[in-house]
Amino acid sequence: MTKQTEPAIHPFLYNNEWKESATGNTVDIYSPDNGNLVGSVPAMSQDEVNDAVNLTADVQENWAATEVHERSDLLHRWADELDSMADEIGAMIQLEVGKTFSSAKSEVKRTAQLIRHTAEEGLRTHGSFIQGDAFPGASRSTKAMVQKVPHGVVLAISPFNYPVNLAASKIAPALVTGNTVVFKPATQGAISGILMVKALVKAGLPKGVLNIVTGRGSVIGDFVVTHDKLDMITFTGGTATGQHIAKQASMIPVVLELGGKDPAIVLSDADLKKAAKEIVGGAFSYSGQRCTAIKRVMVMNDVADELAEEIRSHVANLKVGYSTDDADIIPMIDQKSADFVTALIDDAKAKGATVVHTGAHEKNLLSPTVLDHVTEDMDVAWEEQFGPVLPIMRVESELEAIDLEKRNEYGLQASIFTTDMETAFTLSERMNVGTVQINGKTSRGPDHFPFLGVKNSGQGVQGIGRSIDSMLRDKVIVLNL
Ligand code: NAP
Ligand code: G3P
């Protein structure tokens, strides 16, 4: 489906004008599939980033003064434009981040649905009214009107793996609540993010309400994050980057969705065929480059052999190739990430892990690898692999699995496979994670469910309703009658 377009510079949006950097500097983006140049984005200077944030701040009051139904209508029109550009944007996602075309297009369609749902939820945002007489010494004649008001200027920073969806899931709730937005896309994925914003401009985005900043996060990141006109930051990406941003941001609210090491805990009474299917889908989709990928299995000793064999048989059927082959396992985003995964596999093998399944590793295309008998001294037991390797750890008891889970630095999601619902709920309560999936793979959706990580997996909550909440603060007006 994908046709390689002529590599071009893709300008950033400033005041609804598409501009190149006055410096002439650009950042090149190469396809993970074949290393070809996909295109470039401007490497904006600090002055240009500064202008973008200032403009976003200048127009915020006017944007917040618009009626919420108008802002909601804009989102509906944006969703329609995205639907009509789904092939074009899907093709660019495929080129930039190496997803298959069908999964890239699904990302765009899912995003349109998310925006529509956000437009609807945004209409139903209300404050509250409190009477004073509940507190001793105050009376009913003192009344508080608690309004919900936007923070102001929101900086939205997205990761490479869902360059459209994880950008829009920040931008849409920000806009519908009256915030204006500075959008910093991941460099790998920036062109897809720019196309997504083209759809928003077509839908009637007023001038200055969203501006884009492009350039490497390592170069412009600290400057934009510490800009004094920012009122809130919403970020998805790696834990180290998120922690760095949180420190820099200091006093403004920051929502962070970070890494994970989601375990699948398989108990002796589980439906092993179903568990294996879910685990393989959860671990290897998009070659494991998902924060919510299942990143380790903890299985009871007495069913470990059978589960490992079920997992092996599913993994053996995964098609390894390129996004253009519609493969299940596609090249990793870059060579550095592939080298990291290879080092984890080598470390585990050297320390005694057994290889249940593997295959050829060529450049950044790694065949899926399943490791069994993984033990605590191996890096793959703890590090977020973000790639196509699945460690299996054998445990003696549920308590051992809970203990292993509790001692890891992440707390995004966990899956429990069992036919005993009472045990499932008991274990769920003991797990220090944002979400527990019972008899299903770890995953963010449906997109209106709350989505959060604890410990080093994040702070704050996303998911449509909660994302809207995060874009608002209380403003209290007290009537003293
Ligand atoms: P990343 O390297 O942390 O980058 C994420 C974003 O941060 C990119 O836009 C990046 O820009 C920007 N950035 C980098 N340094 C910055 C700085 N100093 N200041 C401001 N922005 C900066 O993450 P990634 O490689 O794109 O994604 C992989 C990681 O994200 C994994 O750990 C994964 O688990 C996590 N993730 C989590 C979730 C979740 O919802 N929990 C979802 C997706 C991904 P450049 O691209 O220009 O460097
Ligand atoms: O890594 C992106 C994260 O948000 C996962 O989303 O839908 O693949 O579970 P999903």
Residues 193-204 have pLDDT tens digits of 999 999 999 999
Percentage of residues in the chain having pLDDT higher than 90? 98
Write the DSSP symbol of residue 318: P
Main-chain dihedrals φ then ψ at residue 366, nearest 5 degrees: -105, 125
Cβ 258 under 6 angstroms from ligand 1: yes
Cβ 227 under 6 angstroms from ligand 1: no
Q: What mean pLDDT is predicted for residues 48-56?
A: 98
Taking only the tens place, the pLDDT of each residue in 9-19 is 999 999 999 99
Q: What mean pLDDT is predicted for residues 402-416?
A: 97
Indicate which residue's Cα is closest to atom 42 of ligand 1. 291
Global pTM reads 0.97
CA pair distance 14, 209, nearest whole angstrom: 9
Cβ 218 under 6 angstroms from ligand 1: yes
Query: Of the residues 160, 162, 386, which should be mutated to test ligand 1's pocket, given the most ligand atoms within 8 Å of the CB?
Result: 160
Query: Residue 3: pLDDT above 90?
Result: no
Q: What mean pLDDT is predicted for residues 139-154?
A: 97
Query: Residue 275: pLDDT above 70?
Result: yes
The catalytic position among 81, 257, 278, 398 is 257
User: Would you state the pLDDT for residue 22?
Assistant: 98
Q: What mean pLDDT is predicted for residues 312-338?
A: 98
Query: Residue 4: pLDDT above 60?
Result: no
CA pair distance 342, 364, nearest whole angstrom: 10
Query: Residue 80: pLDDT above 70?
Result: yes
What's the sign of the alpha-carbon dihedral 415, 270, 374, 301? positive
For tokens 């209300």, what's the residue? 126
Closest CA to 386 of 265, 260, 263: 260
CA pair distance 36, 30, nearest whole angstrom: 5
- How far is the centre of ligand 1, averaged over its atoms, from the C-alpha of 260 (Å)? 13
Query: Residue 5: pLDDT above 90?
Result: no
- How far is the centre of ligand 2, averaged over its atoms, from the C-alpha of 451 (Å)? 10
Mean pLDDT over each residue of the chain, to the nearest integer:
97
Categorize the per-residue pLDDT at 326 as very low, low, confident or very high, splitting at 50, 70 and 90: very high
User: Would you state the pLDDT for residue 235?
Assistant: 98
CA pair distance 19, 197, nearest whole angstrom: 14
Indicate which residue's Cα is closest to atom 29 of ligand 1. 238
Taking residue 450's Cβ as centre, other Cβ atoms within 10 Å add up to 14
Main-chain dihedrals φ then ψ at residue 436, nearest 5 degrees: -110, 130
CA pair distance 434, 400, nearest whole angstrom: 20
User: Would you state the pLDDT for residue 7?
Assistant: 77
- How far is the centre of ligand 2, averaged over its atoms, from the C-alpha of 425 (Å)? 24
Query: Of the residues 164, 289, 412, 443, which should be mutated to test ligand 2's pocket, given the most ligand atoms within 8 Å of the CB?
Result: 443
Query: Of the residues 97, 103, 106, 166, which should be mutated to test ligand 2's pocket, given the most ligand atoms within 8 Å of the CB?
Result: 166
User: What distance lies between CA 63 and its chain's CA centroid?
Assistant: 27
User: Would you state the pLDDT for residue 6?
Assistant: 64
User: Would you state the pLDDT for residue 145?
Assistant: 97
Note whether 297 and 282 are within 8 A (CB): no
Query: Residue 446: pLDDT above 70?
Result: yes
Cβ 157 under 6 angstroms from ligand 1: yes
Query: Residue 1: pLDDT above 90?
Result: no
Main-chain dihedrals φ then ψ at residue 156, nearest 5 degrees: -110, 120
Both tokens of 218, joined, read 């390592």
Q: Is 20 a catalytic residue?
A: no
Taking only the tens place, the pLDDT of each residue in 226-250 is 999 999 999 999 999 999 999 999 8
Note whether 435 and 102 are within 8 A (CB): no
Categorize the per-residue pLDDT at 2 as very low, low, confident or very high, splitting at 50, 70 and 90: very low
Residue 444 Cα: closest atom of ligand 2: 9
Note whether 169 and 114 are within 8 A (CB): yes
Indicate which residue's Cα is closest to atom 15 of ligand 1. 217
For the chain, list the domains and their CATH numbers.
12-258+459-480 (3.40.605.10), 262-446 (3.40.309.10)
Three-state DSSP at 217 gives helix
Distances (CA, A) of 183 to 93, 238, 471: 17, 17, 15
**Strand 128-131 and strand 142-150: pairing?**
antiparallel
Categorize the per-residue pLDDT at 179 as very low, low, confident or very high, splitting at 50, 70 and 90: very high
